[in-house]
Amino acid sequence: MLNEKMSLSIRKGLMLFILQFVFVWGYGQVKLTGTVTNVRGESLPGASVIMEGTYQGVTTNQQGMYVFSNLKAGSYNLRVSFLGYQTIRKSVELKSDKEVNFKLTESAIMAEEVIVAATRVGAKAPVAVTNLSSDDVAGQNTGQDIPYQLSLMPSLVEASEAGAGIGNSSLRIRGTGSNRINVTVNGIPLNDSESQNVFWVNMPDFSSSVDNIQIQRGVGTSTNGSAAFGGTINFQTQTLAKDSYAQINSVAGSFNSFRNTIRVGTGLIDNKFSFDARYSRLKSDGYVDRAFSDHESFFVTGAYYREKSLLRFNVFSGDQHTGISWWGNPDAKSNRTYNPAGEYEDEFGNTKYYKDQTDNYKQTHYQLFYSLELNEFLNANAALHYTKGKGYYEQYKEDKKFKDYALPNVVIGDQEIEKTDLIRRKWLKNDFYGFVYSLNYRKNRVDASFGGGWNQYDGDHFGNIIWARYMGKVEKGYQWYLNNGKKTDYNFYAKVNYELTPKLNVYGDIQYRHINYNMDGIDDDLNGLVQDHKYDFWNPKVGCFYTLNDHQNVYFSFGMGHREPTRTNFKNAKLKPQSMPQSESLYDYELGYNFHAPKATLGVNIYYMYYRDQLVATGKKNNVGDDIMTNVDKSYRAGVELIWGIKLLEGLKWDANLTLSSNRIKRFLETSSYSSQWNEAIEWYDVTEEKSKSLGNTHISYSPEVIASSLLQWSPAKGLDINLISKYVGDQYFDNTSSKDRMIDAYFVNNFKMNYSFNPSWIKRVGLFVQVNNLFNVEYANNAYGGNWYEENVEKSWAYTFPQAGINFLAGVELSF
C-alpha cells in the first residue's frame, strides 16, 4: 500500500512538473494597466478587476491602479466591482500595451455583501480559502445533498448512509467531521448547539436558495458559533434579483429519486422592495434498503432597500422524513443493500422490518437583518435570529426489559412477563435564538471589523412508548425519560488587515468566546444527567500576505482555536467521571503560494495543525448513531494542498486539487475488552477486564492521507458543457489503532455530467442536464465504524460499512421565465 501511495505521489509530482511548462507557455508580452475611481475621480483601493473566462484577477492598490502583465494579444472581458458601487463589464482588445480606466457609479441601493463581510475574508487575507459564486452553486445543484455538491472542494470527503447522496449525508474537511466545522448562514450559526453538528438532511434543497459560499480551511478567521477545527463554511442566501422571474426545476433519477422546485421573485419594486420565494419537494427510495427520503422545504425572503440602509427578513424551513440507516451493513459482500434497522421476528419466526423505523424532524429558521452605511468608510450590521426544531426517531425494539423503561413486569394469569416488544419515539424539541452584530471599516490601508454575538439554546430530550406487545395498565404514549439542555454562548472579535507597504499586508484577529452549558433531568438509561460546564476561550490569529507581482503572492498565518465537548461527549461519560471529556486546543500554521495567469492557476498550501486533547472518533457509535469520541493528549495533522486549473485548449479546461497529509496521534493508548472464559449459558466469552496498551504513533480515525478531485470540462458549442468528474480518496482507518482490519479501502469514482441550455423565443431559458454517477460501477464504501476485542489474547474485529451505489443517474430540466 505504501508503494502505491508513493507511486501516486510521483505521478502527481510529474504532472505538476509538466504543468510548470504550461505556465511558462501561457505567458505573453502584452501589459494591461489602468485605474479604478468613482465619478468624482477618487481612487478606489481594493476594487476587484476580473478577467472573465480566465483564471486571473487582481485588486487595485492604494492609488486605485491595477496591472495585468505578460498577457497574450487578444480579446478580454473585464469585470470591475467594488462594495457599494455598480459593477462594470467591458471588452478590451489587446494588440500592444494598453491603459483602460474605469469610473464606478455608486449604487442606488445598499450592497448585500455587507451582511457577510465581517465573517468572510478578502483577496489579501492569509487564509486557505475557496469561493463559490452563484453560477458555481447552481451548476453543482443536481439534487444531491450539500456534502455531495461540495465534493470537489480541496481536502473534502463526503459520505452517504443511503448510498446515493440523498438522505443522511455528511462531510469531513482535512479529516475533521462537520461537528467540528463552523457553518454559518448569513453570519448566523447553523451548527446545532448541543451536538455542534450540521444535519444536512434537515435542509433539503437549501442550496436552491443560496447565492454564494465561502469555505475556509484550517482554523480560519473569527466568526460566530462553534470553533472551526477543520474549516468554516459560510453560506449567503438569495440576494437581490433586480428583474422579476419564475423558475421550475425538476430532477429525476435512479432509486425513484425526484426533486421538484419552484422559485419566483418580484424583482426590485419601486427601487425599494423585493420578494422571493421557493418551494421544494424531494423523494428517494435510496440505494440502501428502506433508507428512503421524503422531504419538503421552503424559503421566503423580503427586503427593503435604501441608498444607505438595508432591511431583510428570511424564513426558511425543512421538514424531513428519512428511513433510519445509521447502523450500516455488517456483511456488504453478501448483500450490499442490507439495512438491519427495524428488523424483528414475528410470532412465527419470520423476519420482518418495521416500516416506520424513521428519523423525522422539522426545523424553521427566522432571520432579520439591518445594515446601515454610517459614512463612506464605515457600515454597521445587526441580525436577530430564531430557530424552532421539533422531531423524533421512531424505532421498533425487541425483547426489552420493562425495568429499563421504569415499568413493572406484567402479570398474565400466573405468568410474570419481564420483556416485551415495543415501539418508541425519542423526541427532541428545541429553541435557538440570539443576535449577531458587526462594524466594518475600510479606508486607505485599513480593512477592519469588530463584531460578535449572543446565542441561547434550550432543548428538551424525552422518550415515549407508543405501543407495546405487553403494556399492562400503562397508557399509550408513556414517557420514560426527560432531560433538558440549556446552552448560552457569546463572543466578540476584532480583526484588521493593514497594508503595510504596497506589496505587504499584515493581519491580526482576536476572539473571546464564553460558553455556559447546563444539563438536568433523567436520561434514556434512567440515570441522572445533571451537569454544568463553563468555558472561556481566547482565540488569536496573525498572518501576512505578500504580493510578489501581479501573477503571484505568498502568505503565512498562525491561529489558535479552542472548542468545548458536545452533549454526546458528556452524555457518554456520565457514569465514568474519569472519562469526562476535556476541551480541545488547536495551533494551526498555514503557508501558501498562489499563481494566476489567464490560462492557468496554481495554489499550494502547506499546513501543520497541532492539537492538545483532541477529541477523536473511536470508531464506535451510540444508540442513535452518534460517534463515541475520546480525548487524546497530543496529535497533529500535517499536509500539502495543491490546487490548479489550466485551459488546455479553447473550450477545454481542467480544474483539480490534491491533498497529501499525515494525521497522527502521538503515543496512542488503546483500551480494549479482554475475555478469557467461555460462558455456555450465553454462548459468549465473559468480559473479565479491560486492559490498556500503548500502540505508539497511530493514524487518526477517518483521516485519509490522499484526497484528489478533478473536473475536466469541455464546451464544444454555445450552451453545451461536457464534464468528467473524478474523486480519489485513499485508505482511511475508522478507529485509532492503525489496524488494517478496521480500514476503509481507497476508492476512485468517476461521474459524467452534460449540461445544455438555450434561449427560445417563448421562454427566457431552458436548461437540461444528465449526470451518470459511478460511471465505471465501482463497488466501494465511503464510511464505516467498528472496533475490536480480545478472546484469550487473540484480537477480533467487528465492522459495519456504508456501501455506495453502483452506476446510477440523475437528469433534470430547468425552465426560467
pLDDT of residue 12: 54
Cα–Cα separations (whole angstroms), residue 234 to 189, 211, 442, 638: 9, 11, 21, 24
Output 726 or 44, whichever has higher pLDDT. 726
- If one counts every other C-beta atom within 10 angstroms of the C-beta of residue 627, the result is 23
C-alpha cell at 50: 476580473
On whether the CB atoms of residues 212 and 133 are closer than 8 A, the answer is yes
Give me the amino acid identity at 60: T
Q: Tell me which residue has cell 475490536.
A: 788
Q: Which CATH number fits domain 129-816: 3.40.50.300, 2.40.10.340, 3.20.20.70, 2.40.170.20?
A: 2.40.170.20
Integer Cα distance of 663 and 230 in angstroms: 13
C-alpha cell at 537: 476561550
Q: Tell me which residue has cell 450465553.
A: 682
pLDDT of residue 17: 47
Average pLDDT across the chain, whole number: 91
Q: What is the largest CA-CA distance in the chain?
A: 103
Q: What is the mean pLDDT of residues 116-136?
A: 92
Bridge partners for 199 per DSSP: none
Q: What are the backbone dihedrals phi and psi of residue 48, each rounded to the nearest 5 degrees, phi first?
A: -95, 130
Integer Cα distance of 69 and 551 in angstroms: 8
The percentage of residues in the chain with a pLDDT greater than 70, rounded to a whole number, is 95
On whether the CB atoms of residues 558 and 542 are closer than 8 A, the answer is yes
Give me the amino acid identity at 361: Y
- C-alpha 546: how far from chain center: 29
pLDDT of residue 15: 55
pLDDT of residue 682: 45
Q: What is the mean pLDDT of residues 202-212?
A: 96
On whether the CB atoms of residues 109 and 307 are closer than 8 A, the answer is yes
Q: Give the β-pairing of 182-185 and 231-237.
A: parallel
pLDDT of residue 817: 95
Integer Cα distance of 241 and 109 in angstroms: 13
pLDDT of residue 734: 94
Q: What is the DSSP string of 403-430?
A: GGGT-PPEEETTEEE-EEEEEEEEEEEE
On whether the CB atoms of residues 627 and 736 are closer than 8 A, the answer is no
Please give, one letter per residue, the 3-state secondary structure of 716-741: EECCEEEEEEEEEECCEECCCCCCHH
Tell me: pLDDT of 57 over 90.
no
Q: Give the β-pairing of 669-679 and 781-791.
A: parallel
Give me the amino acid identity at 274: S
* Topology at the third CATH level for domain 2-107: Immunoglobulin-like (2.60.40)
Q: What is the mean pLDDT of residues 429-452?
A: 95
Q: What is the mean pLDDT of residues 414-439?
A: 95
**Which bin fits 517, alpha (ψ -120 to 50), beta or left (φ > 0)?**
beta
Kindly state the helix (H) or strand (E) to which residue 279 belongs, with its residue range: strand 273-284
Cβ-proximal residues to 67 (8 Å cutoff; 6+ apart), any chain: 31, 32, 33, 58, 550
Integer Cα distance of 632 and 699 in angstroms: 12
Integer Cα distance of 366 and 749 in angstroms: 39
On whether the CB atoms of residues 149 and 711 are closer than 8 A, the answer is no
Tell me: pLDDT of 653 over 50.
yes
SS3 651: coil
Integer Cα distance of 232 and 229 in angstroms: 8
Return the closest-CA partner of residue 429 out of 358, 482, 467. 482
Integer Cα distance of 223 and 204 in angstroms: 25
**Range from 60-64, 239-243, 728-732, 735-739 carrying the lowest mean pLDDT:** 60-64
Return the closest-CA partner of residue 541 out of 106, 127, 241, 157. 127
pLDDT of residue 63: 85
- DSSP 8-class letter at 502: S
Cα–Cα separations (whole angstroms), residue 360 to 76, 220, 294, 493: 52, 34, 10, 37
Q: What are the backbone dihedrals phi and psi of residue 231, each rounded to the nearest 5 degrees, phi first?
A: 170, 180
Beta-strand runs (E) in 523-623: 531-547, 552-563, 584-597, 600-621
- DSSP 8-class letter at 96: S
Integer Cα distance of 49 and 290 in angstroms: 51
Q: What is the mean pLDDT of residues 265-278?
A: 95
Return the closest-CA partner of residue 123 out of 163, 66, 39, 70. 66
Q: What is the DSSP string of 165-215?
A: SSSSEEEEETTEEGGGSEEEETTEE-S-TTT----GGGSTTGGGGEEEEEE
Positive or negative, the CA dihedral 571, 572, 578, 580 is negative
pLDDT of residue 677: 55
**Range from 298-312, 393-407, 426-440, 784-798 carrying the lowest mean pLDDT:** 784-798
pLDDT of residue 812: 96
Integer Cα distance of 453 and 501 in angstroms: 33
CATH 2.60.40.1120 domain range(s) in the chain: 2-107
Integer Cα distance of 121 and 127 in angstroms: 8
pLDDT of residue 515: 97
Give me the amino acid identity at 117: A
HSE (side-chain half, CA atoms, 13 Å) at 353: 13
On whether the CB atoms of residues 677 and 648 are closer than 8 A, the answer is no
C-alpha cell at 48: 476587484
Q: What is the mean pLDDT of residues 61-70?
A: 86
Cβ-proximal residues to 413 (8 Å cutoff; 6+ apart), any chain: none
Q: What is the DSSP string of 590-619?
A: EEEEEEEETTEEEEEEEEEEEEEEEEEEEE
Q: Tell me which residue has cell 421538514.
A: 319
Q: What is the mean pLDDT of residues 279-307?
A: 96
Give me the amino acid identity at 732: Q
Integer Cα distance of 488 and 434 in angstroms: 10
Integer Cα distance of 122 and 149 in angstroms: 24
pLDDT of residue 662: 97
On whether the CB atoms of residues 204 and 280 are closer than 8 A, the answer is yes
On whether the CB atoms of residues 171 and 153 are closer than 8 A, the answer is no
Question: What's the chain's Rg over C-alpha atoms?
Answer: 28
pLDDT of residue 18: 47
Bridge partners for 212 per DSSP: 236
- C-alpha 228: how far from chain center: 11
Positive or negative, the CA dihedral 470, 472, 475, 481 is negative
pLDDT band at 3 (very low <50, low <70, confident <90, very high): very low
- 612-630 pLDDT per residue, tens: 999 999 989 888 888 889 9
- C-alpha 420: how far from chain center: 41
pLDDT of residue 146: 96
Cβ-proximal residues to 558 (8 Å cutoff; 6+ apart), any chain: 541, 542, 543, 587, 588, 589, 590
CATH 2.40.170.20 domain range(s) in the chain: 129-816
**CB-based burial label for 322 (10 Å; 0-12, 13-18, 19+):** buried
